[in-house]
């Protein structure tokens, strides 16, 4: 049921991605990269689960130093996720097979340099270390100039950004790249990836629904997008993002393979038309920026505590760090993001305050009750 894909084939270490190559299933370490033992355990778990590629986030020289230990001795190819500090690429490229950069994060450092200069530098670093690249566009961190140009047209902004970055890499004669365009809403993931595939049918695509949250909803959201896209011949590699305990991360690979096998065999699962009605909880899958492992328990507690509000049209976002948390919760009615000892709570654009892990649930419930009363 998966039509032949027309994308070009690229090499990522020992694996091929794109064209007639099998669709690669990948995932990412959810732990702090500097916690070498925990991150090695993540890679081990994902490798045992059958991952084709494992990604690790890097944002500082200390992360890069830790990667030297983390990366040692694994068969599974590794990719690094450059968060805001793109200059880390030169420290980590010799250790991995692929580099992901987010066009929406290139403006944070070295503000005097143009995006084109920074991309050229990343490309030359990848080329000289035999690394592939992923241009990873995320709806939660759209580059400011695209936000300004496209206003409320989120899909237009993220697709244009991806297409423009492909042109930059093409102009540098670099072909070993894939593109991802992710959103937490699977319907927008379908729209954006379909539009991108039409604009650039030659470029391999990495599929994902970001911040899909906890099972089973996180799996259903992901399945909705993957079924639609894979059945149209869109998608050369995929990642399922789930908010699950670190020891259960292998589940992301198992679910990815299951969805893939189902689509290949024509086993589609429909969802009722009201699936998107009511309370929507989005939660990040955690990464090296997570500041307190209690984040996963908190996300589960939020889900349980808010069951009483299931029929209300509200979105609650639960994020694992203070860096991306504020931005990633922008579109939610209530947003939480976790620090080492406290959790920030936002209602719409207003910061309600900063509460301990023991205080946060009652405070969230208070805000939720008020919102429900206000909405009538
Ligand atoms: S919100 Fe923070 S911890 Fe969660 S995935 Fe994003 S960067 Fe990582």
Please give the residue that has the higher pLDDT: either 250 or 273: 250
Q: How far apart are alpha carbons 21 and 9 in whole angstroms?
A: 7
Q: By alpha-carbon position, which residue is closest to atom 5 of ligand 1?
A: 286
In this prediction, residue 1 has a pLDDT band, given cuts at 50, 70 and 90, of confident
Mode of pairing for the β-strands spanning 315-319 and 98-101: unpaired
Q: In terms of C-beta distances under 8 Å and separation of at least 24 residues, what long-range contacts does 147-155 make, across chains too?
A: 154/183, 154/188, 155/188, 155/191, 155/192, 155/195
Output the CA 63–ligand 1 centroid distance in Å.
15
Output the CA 324–ligand 1 centroid distance in Å.
6
Average pLDDT over residues 257-284: 95
Structure confidence by residue, pLDDT tens digits, 58-69? 999 999 999 999
The pLDDT assigned to 376 comes to 77
pLDDT at 103 over 90: yes
Cβ–ligand 1 distance for 290 under 6 Å, the answer: yes
Which of 321, 331, 338, when mutated, tests ligand 1's pocket best, judged by the most ligand atoms within 8 Å of its CB?
321
In this prediction, residue 375 has a pLDDT band, given cuts at 50, 70 and 90, of confident
How far apart are the two ends of the chain, measured CA to CA in Å?
46
Of 136, 123, 337, 359, nearest in space to 237 by CA = 136
In this prediction, residue 94 has a pLDDT band, given cuts at 50, 70 and 90, of very high
Structure confidence by residue, pLDDT tens digits, 164-203? 999 999 999 999 999 999 999 999 999 999 999 999 999 9
Kindly give the number of the ligand 1 atom that is closest to the alpha carbon of 289: 3
Output the CA 305–ligand 1 centroid distance in Å.
22
Q: How far apart are alpha carbons 14 and 97 in whole angstroms?
A: 9
Cβ–ligand 1 distance for 321 under 6 Å, the answer: yes
Q: What is the dihedral of CA 297, 30, 137, 71, to 10 degrees?
A: 180
Structure confidence by residue, pLDDT tens digits, 319-353? 999 988 988 898 899 999 999 999 999 999 999 99
Q: Is 310 within 8 Å of 278 (Cβ atoms)?
A: yes
Angle at 275 between CA 311 and CA 252, to 5 degrees: 115
Total count of residues recorded for the chain:
376
Kindly give the number of the ligand 1 atom that is closest to the alpha carbon of 321: 2
Q: How far apart are alpha carbons 268 and 265 in whole angstroms?
A: 9
Structure confidence by residue, pLDDT tens digits, 192-242? 999 999 999 999 999 999 999 999 999 999 999 999 999 999 999 999 999
Average pLDDT over residues 16-20: 97
Provide the token pair at 263. Answer: 């689509």
The pLDDT assigned to 51 comes to 98
pTM (two decimals) = 0.95
Structure confidence by residue, pLDDT tens digits, 262-275? 999 999 998 998 99
Map out the domains of the chain with their CATH numbers. 10-264 (3.20.20.20), 290-375 (3.30.413.10)
Q: Is 342 left (phi over 0), alpha (psi -120 to 50) or beta?
A: beta
The pLDDT assigned to 304 comes to 97
């Amino acid at each position: 049921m998966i039509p032949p894909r027309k994308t070009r084939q690229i090499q990522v270490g020992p694996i091929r991605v794109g064209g007639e190559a099998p669709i690669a299933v990948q995932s990412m370490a959810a732990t702090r990269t500097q916690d070498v033992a925990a991150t090695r355990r993540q890679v081990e778990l994902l490798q045992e689960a059958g991952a084709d590629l494992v990604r690790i986030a890097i944002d500082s020289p200390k992360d890069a130093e830790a990667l030297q230990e983390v990366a040692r001795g694994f068969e599974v190819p590794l990719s690094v996720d450059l968060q805001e500090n793109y200059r880390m690429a030169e420290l980590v490229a010799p250790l991995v097979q692929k580099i992901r950069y987010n066009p929406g994060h290139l403006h944070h450092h070295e503000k005097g340099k143009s995006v084109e200069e920074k991309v050229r530098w990343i490309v030359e670093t990848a080329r000289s270390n035999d690394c592939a690249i992923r241009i990873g566009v995320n709806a939660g961190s759209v580059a400011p100039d695209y936000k300004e140009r496209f206003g409320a047209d989120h899909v237009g902004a993220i697709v244009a950004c991806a297409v423009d970055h492909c042109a930059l890499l093409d102009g540098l004669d670099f072909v070993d790249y894939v593109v991802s365009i992710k959103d937490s809403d699977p319907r927008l993931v379908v729209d954006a990836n379909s539009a991108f595939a039409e604009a650039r049918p030659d470029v391999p695509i990495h599929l994902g629904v970001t911040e899909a949250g906890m099972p089973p909803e996180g799996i259903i959201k992901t399945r909705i997008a993957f079924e639609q896209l894979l059945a149209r011949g869109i998608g050369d590699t995929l990642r399922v993002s789930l908010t699950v305990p670190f020891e259960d991360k292998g589940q992301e690979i198992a679910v990815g393979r299951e969805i893939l096998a189902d689509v290949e065999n024509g086993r589609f699962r429909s969802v009722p038309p009201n699936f998107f009605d009511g309370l929507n909880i989005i939660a990040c899958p955690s990464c090296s920026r997570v500041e307190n492992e209690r984040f996963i328990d908190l996300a589960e507690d939020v889900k349980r505590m808010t069951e009483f509000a299931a029929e209300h049209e509200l979105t609650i976002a639960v994020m694992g760090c203070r860096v991306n948390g504020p931005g990633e919760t922008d579109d939610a009615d209530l947003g939480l993001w976790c620090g080492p000892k406290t959790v920030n709570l936002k209602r719409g654009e207003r910061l309600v305050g900063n509460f301990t892990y023991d205080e946060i649930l009652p405070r969230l419930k208070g805000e939720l009750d008020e919102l429900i009363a206000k909405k009538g």
